[in-house]
Amino acid sequence: MKNKPQETQKKQSDLAVLLGYAGDRRKLTFTGLALSALAMVLGMAPYICIYLVVRDLINVFPDFSGAVSITKYAYLAFLFAVLGIVVYFAALMCTHLAAFRTASNIRKEGMAHLMKAPLGFFDQNASGLLRNRLDGAASETETLLAHNLADIVGSIAMLLSMLVLMFFFDWRMGGACLLAAVISILAMMSMMGGKNAGLMAEYQAAQDVMSKAGTEYVRGIPVVKVFQQTVDSFRAFQTAIENYSDKAEHYQADVCRVPQALNLTFTEGAFVFLIPVVLFLLPGAMASGNLALLVTNFAFYAVFSAIISTALARVMFAASGMMLAHTALGRIDQVMAAPNLPVTDHPVSIRGSGVTFRDVSFTYEGAPSPALSHVSFRVEPGETVALVGPSGGGKTTAASLIPRFWDVTSGCVEVGGADVRKVDPHDLMDRVAFVFQNSHLFKDTILENVRASRPGATRDEVMKALEAAQCGDILEKLPKGVDTLLGSEGTYLSGGEQQRIALARAILKDAPIVVLDEATAFADPENEVLIQKALGTLTKGKTVIMIAHRLSTVVSADRIIVLDRGQVRESGTHRELVSRGGLYARMWQEYTQALQWKIGADAPKAVAETKAKEAGK
């Protein structure tokens, strides 16, 4: 029972959902639709005027000077036509105002929702892509609300008033016109409904597959070039194109040919239907002397039947707008389905800077096995703990649970004695600084990029942080120093340089807890030395949890935790672990061997250095 409201909400029509976004401008939509209907009814008036003109002309035939009222009717027709246009314009004004508001509300609500998603969500769903999707979908709803809907309502009003007009002058001729219209509608429906609906869906699905394969193909062009492959290697793309063309051909030739021919014949040539009716009525009219009326009516219906096709085409066109809006809403729903990071109403305060994992298990959504299972460890304030282990062991996952990139599946992660889920997210963010593998720099100046971690920081403080992060050489070579706009005019930084800017950012933040993920993984040797120096400054006096592939950097850690297949295998100091002869000892041996192999002649020296570092510990 409790779920009832949600369920009914799910069944809401697309239109109701859209109007929900319109807020207080919803009324404007309704006003616009009413005006649009009025405009279409007004648009019918000129046809009545034409009827009156024809009637007068036929009545006075052959002495046309007797047709004194036709000028009046002509003016009336003109007046109604203009009035119709003006009212239609006003209608579109209303629907546009409402549509713009709706689209902007969709964007706002979508962004607000995304802001509440856990950060890890954006690892899996590029934020730019999500924003584009939201943006595109919002503009697509604009077309529906601003134009299609007004046209649908207008066309319905038009069809209704046509129906009235049809039977007003001569129901038999009206019936003939209606019959033609009904046949063409049936033909049209047979193309899309029944067993053909499946074909239509297949055709659209094939089109979808083709465009996706096309995207893949374009993405793969570098590979094609490097490996000298041909389009043939993109079998998937080729098959998709062939499949689409088969489906399109089949749908058009076998399904659409006859109905479309019927449809066009009966909409464009509806007046042909009038001829037998007129022939049938002719003897009676001659006998009763009503010939003039019959001719007048015939003239009217002949003109009138021509606009039936316009009205029908309009409905068709508007209906396709409905379909577009439906898929757009689907995409908006995808954005709105982004998980929300639950925020507590009664936040607990963080005391101290220790980090504790209590029996933590975590499984990525849709993953068959847990990335972490029953992981427990404690990092005391001021301690430096290194997470090591084979790739895929769960190190990054463990680190990302601390700032709540994700929430644990079971167990809990505590910072300063408080469960991270029970503290104010802002408070948590203030306490923890992270430097991750691919640090993200904004398209802004270096100054602002660093300042992002502490918006109130002065220029001086930023400069000090940059200095501490060994960024002097970067600033020197840039045209405007710290005020250089990144990503513009060819100002791109290498991976190691970006890493140092990210370190400056973390240094400026001066948070008591520092989480580092493979901060040196991509750096070249020169950068690595500088990065190590910067890390020294960053981690001084802090609680540090660091992940590093190069074991030389973790030798000096207070404690090393070995994560393998999501579980803590070993933990202890470097010495303890080496003497234990377990997984870490094996990794260490491989590492030193690799070092010897890599450095060749210099090996004894390098190993001696590492050993010295080890001994100093």
The distance of closest approach from Cβ of residue 378 to ligand ADP in the complex, given in angstroms and rounded to an integer, is: 20
Q: Which of residues 347-406 bind Mg ion (CB under 5 A)?
A: 396
Residues 371-390, interacting with ligand ADP (CB under 6 A)? 371, 389
Closest by CA position to 386, among listed 583, 557, 576: 557
Site membership for ligand ADP, residue 368 (CB under 6 A): no
State the binding partner of 321 from ligand ADP, Mg ion, none, CB within 5 to 8 A by kind: none
Find the helix or strand (DSSP H, E) in which 496 lies: helix 495-509
Question: Six-digit token pair at 188?
Answer: 């049209």
Helix, strand, coil percentages, rounded to 5, for the chain: 70, 10, 20
Alpha helix positions (H), 337-388? none
Q: How far is the CB of 434 from Mg ion (least distance, A)?
A: 13
Cβ–Cβ < 8 Å for 381, 543: yes
Q: Could you tell which of ligand ADP, Mg ion, none binds residue 124, using a CB distance below 5 to 8 A set by kind? A: ligand ADP
Of 154, 394, 496, 512, the one binding ligand ADP by CB under 6 A: 394
For residue 76, give both structure tokens: 């009336």
> Closest distance between ligand ADP and the C-beta of residue 394, in Å?
4
Residue 253 makes contact with ligand ADP by CB under 6 A: no
Closest distance between ligand ADP and the C-beta of residue 564, in Å? 9
Which lies closer to ligand ADP via its Cβ, residue 120 or residue 174? Answer: 120
Rounded to whole angstroms, the Cα distance separating 425 from 421 reads 8
| Cα 443 → chain centroid | 22
Closer Cβ to ligand ADP, 123 or 419, answer by number = 123
Q: At what angle do helices 495-509 and 459-468 cross, to 10 degrees?
A: 130
Q: Candidates 76-84, 160-168, 205-213, 395-403 — which segment interacts with ligand ADP by CB under 6 A?
A: 395-403
CA geometry: angle 377, 382, 388, nearest 5 deg: 45
What's the CA gap between 181 and 312, in Å, rounded? 9
The least distance separating ligand ADP from the CB of residue 543, rounded to whole angstroms, comes to 20
Residue 332 Cβ, how far from ligand ADP at the closest point, in Å? 24
Contact 47, 303 (CB under 8 A): yes
Q: Which two tokens stand for residue 616?
A: 């100093």
Q: Of the two residues 174 and 394, which places its CB atom closer to ligand ADP in the complex? A: 394
Q: Is 522 in the site for ligand ADP (CB under 6 A)?
A: no
**Of ligand ADP, Mg ion, none, which one sits near residue 446, judging by CB under 5 to 8 A according to partner kind?**
none
The total number of residues shown for the chain amounts to 617
Q: How far is the CB of 342 from ligand ADP (least distance, A)?
A: 20
Interface with Mg ion (CB under 5 A), residue total 1
Stretch that binds ligand ADP, among 10-18, 242-250, 391-399, 593-601 (CB under 6 A): 391-399
The least distance separating ligand ADP from the CB of residue 387, rounded to whole angstroms, comes to 8
Q: How far is the CB of 124 from ligand ADP (least distance, A)?
A: 5
Q: How far apart are the first and last CA of the chain?
A: 64
C-beta of 317 vs 364, nearer to ligand ADP: 364
What Rg, from alpha-carbon coordinates, does the chain have?
A: 37
Task: Tell me which residues in 120-159 interact with ligand ADP (CB under 6 A).
Answer: 123-124
Contact flags string 197-236 toward ligand ADP, x per CB under 6 A = ----------------------------------------
Number of residues this chain uses to bind ligand ADP (CB under 6 A): 13
Q: Which stretch binds ligand ADP (CB under 6 A): 102-110, 353-361, 393-401, 549-557?
A: 393-401
Does the footprint of ligand ADP cover residue 615 (CB under 6 A)? no
Contacts with 423 (C-beta within 8 Å, 6 or more apart), sequence order: 344, 347, 348, 349, 350, 415
Place of tokens 């007129």: 278
Are 248 and 203 a contacting pair, CB within 8 Å?
yes
What is the spatial distance between Cα 336 and Cα 107, in angstroms, rounded to a whole number?
11
> Minimum Å distance from CB 365 to ligand ADP?
7
Instruction: Quote the least distance from Cβ 383 to ligand ADP, whole Å.
Output: 21
> Per rule CB under 6 A, is residue 339 in the interface with ligand ADP?
no
Residue nearest to Mg ion (CB): 396
β-strands 355-362, 410-415 pairing: antiparallel
Q: Which positions from 396 through 435 interact with ligand ADP, judged by CB under 6 A?
A: 396-397
- Least distance to ligand ADP from the beta carbon of 568, Å? 12
Of 482, 344, 359, 536, the closest CA to residue 423 belongs to 344
Q: Which tokens sit at 169? A: 């002058």
In terms of phi and psi (left: phi > 0; alpha: psi -120 to 50; beta: otherwise), the region of 582 is: beta
Q: Which two tokens stand for residue 116?
A: 């509440």
Cβ proximity to Mg ion: between 363 and 396 the closer is 396
Compute the distance between CA of residue 170 and CA of residue 282 in angstroms, rounded to an integer. 13
Binding segment (CB under 6 A) for ligand ADP, from list 74-82, 126-134, 394-402, 591-599: 394-402
| 391 interacts with ligand ADP by CB under 6 A | yes
Torsional sign, CA 466, 470, 476, 478: negative
CB closer to ligand ADP out of 95 and 397:
397
The reply to whether 364 sits near ligand ADP by the rule CB under 6 A is yes
Strands of 410-415's sheet in order across: 372-379, 355-362, 410-415, 418-419
Task: Write phi, then psi, for 355 (nearest 5 degrees).
Answer: -125, 130
CA distance 303 to 606: 96
Candidates 367, 489, 600, 601; binder of ligand ADP (CB under 6 A) is 367
- In the three-class reduction of DSSP (H, G, I as helix; E, B as strand; rest coil), residue 516 is classed as strand
Work out how close the CB of 395 gets to Mg ion at its nearest, in angstroms, rounded to a whole number: 5
Residue 297 as a binder of ligand ADP (CB under 6 A): the answer is no
Q: Is 392 one of the binding residues for ligand ADP (CB under 6 A)?
A: yes
* Residue whose CB is less far from ligand ADP, 123 or 558: 123
Q: Is 552 a residue that touches Mg ion (CB under 5 A)?
A: no
| Nearest partner of 469 among 449, 491, 486, 484, judged by Cα | 449
What would the DSSP string read from start to end of 180-196? HHHHHHHHHHHHHSTHH
Question: Which parts of this chain interact with Mg ion (CB under 5 A)?
Answer: 396
Which residues of the chain form contacts with ligand ADP (CB under 6 A)?
A: 123-124, 364, 367, 371, 389, 391-397
